[in-house]
Amino acid sequence: MKRIAAVFALLVMMIGTAGGETYRFTLEEATAYGLANSTAIKSKQLAVAAAQADLAAAKSAYYPSLSAGASWTHLFDPPQAGSSYLSGSDPVGVSLELGQSVYTFGKIKGGVKLAEEALAQAALDLAEENRKTIVLIKNAFYGYLLALEVAAINKETLASKEEALDVVRQRYNAGLVADFEVLQAESDLESFKATVISTDNGVRIALLNVKYVLGIEEEDFEFELIGELELIPVEVDREALIQKALTGKYDLQSYRKVVDITEAQEALNRSLRLPTLAAWANYGVQSGYESSTGDNRYFDLDAWEGNLTMGLNLSVPISGYFPWSKENATIKKTQLQLEDLRIKYGALESSVRIAVESAILKIAEERAKISSGKKSVALAQRLYEAAADQYESGYISSVELKDAQLGLNAARLAYAQAIYNYNRNILDLMDVVGVAKF
């Protein structure tokens, strides 16, 4: 219900964009819109519907089949026996036939099982597409927040450089420094403006990436994402994550489903060599005629003759048991495919374990960087504040102040990047484990 409400709110916002307003979306709202607007998800939903139709078609073999027919024949020379006609010149026949499989020795059951496994695979594909879309949106979201944070840091650094230029101009006007100091501060300011322009453009590019992920095509649809570049809260339990990955990761689930489908196909192939018992009943009526003249009597109900026939049919595909038969070869091939799948599944499980442990190690590394980066920012901030005071008092040069500014800027950027990298590794861990959230 929350997702539906979020999508509705977004649609209302899109309708009202004609006034040129900029709308702000939370991650939850953006995710809801992306899921509702994804063409890949819609395609998977259609695949599920098609698999459901295939299952219904497979189950229809359990039920009787009923067919009706009608025929008309023109005889240019109706047969005669002496002076009597044996048939009318244009006989009409109507028939109704009922068929029912009595026992197929697993053929219908095998076909239904195969269709059920195909439907389960289609549903699994849809669930994975939903999960991938959520993680993709989160990646784009945090990428946008990083670009926004970088742009804000550089703008603050630019502001500090403008303040430094004001200070050096005041000192120059007071005759305390040479004009070289002013030129150096102006050059430093202008050079850094290019960095600010570049990071502002990075925000626009990150926003375009979000629009692409969400499937927004309207050029005049302007929006921002609401959020802070902060750590995704998660408790990392190595063993629990490995077990979750082994049971829930799409690659493994899909592989197990392939094994199930192959096993169902093998069972169906074996059943094709077994007998089939079917019952049938047919009732037909044929128009009458005047035996003396051969004239047709379509409208005389007493003249129509009916005939009811019933029977059982047992079909045994004996050739399927011959060593050189196609059925034998197909069964052998399916058995070899199953053996190959089981061998590869063990290797896939091992690779998943390694991927989970590698992702956990990367997360631990980024946590250490964040802890160190936080201290670096605090120290760089103190160093810059001290440098700014000393510069204003004339104890240090503009070059030393510039170094302090760049040090603080680099420390803040590194800290923001470490937070983003941590979040990115959490999202990578979600991919490895096969979940959309922890």
Q: Over 338-362, what HEC string results? A: HHHHHHHHHHHHHHHHHHHHHHHHH
Range of the domain at 419: 2-37+104-275+316-433
Tens digits of residue pLDDT in 164-195: 889 888 888 888 878 888 898 889 889 999 99
User: What is the C-alpha to C-alpha distance for residues 313 and 316, in angstroms, rounded to an integer?
Assistant: 10
**What is the count of structural domains for the chain?**
2
Look at residue 366 and tell me if it is in a domain. yes
Long-range CB contact pairs, 427-432, < 8 A, 24+: 427/135, 427/138, 427/139, 427/142, 427/232, 428/359, 428/362, 429/236, 429/241, 429/356, 429/359, 429/360, 429/363, 430/135, 431/132, 431/135, 432/245, 432/249, 432/352, 432/355, 432/356, 432/359
Look at residue 132 and tell me if it is in a domain. yes
* 122 and 195, same domain (yes or no): yes
Look at residue 47 and tell me if it is in a domain. no
* 271 and 139, same domain (yes or no): yes
Tens digits of residue pLDDT in 382-435: 999 999 899 888 888 888 888 999 999 999 999 999 999 999 999 999 999 999
Residue 17: pLDDT band by 50, 70, 90 thresholds? Answer: very low
User: Two tokens at 263?
Assistant: 């096993």
Give phi and psi for 311, each to the nearest 5: -175, 170
* 180 and 244, same domain (yes or no): yes
Tens digits of residue pLDDT in 88-116: 888 999 999 999 998 888 889 999 999 99
pTM given for the model = 0.80
User: Two tokens at 244?
Assistant: 């979750």
At 78 the three-state DSSP class reads coil
Tokens 């060599």 label which residue? 273
pLDDT more than 70, % of the chain = 94
Look at residue 171 and tell me if it is in a domain. yes
Residue 229 · residue 142 · CB < 8 Å: yes
Where does a domain end: 256, 291, 315?
Answer: 315
- Residue closest to 253 by CA, chosen among 115, 341, 436, 124: 124
* 7 and 98, same domain (yes or no): no
Overall residue count recorded for the chain in this entry: 438
Residue type, 406: L
Whether residue 4 is predicted with pLDDT greater than 80 in this model: the reply is no
* 305 and 362, same domain (yes or no): no
Q: What's the confidence (pLDDT) of residue 359?
A: 93
Q: What's the confidence (pLDDT) of residue 12?
A: 47
Where does a domain end: 263, 285, 315?
Answer: 315
Tens digits of residue pLDDT in 261-301: 998 988 888 888 889 999 999 999 998 888 888 888 888 88
- Residue closest to 275 by CA, chosen among 310, 313, 331, 324: 313
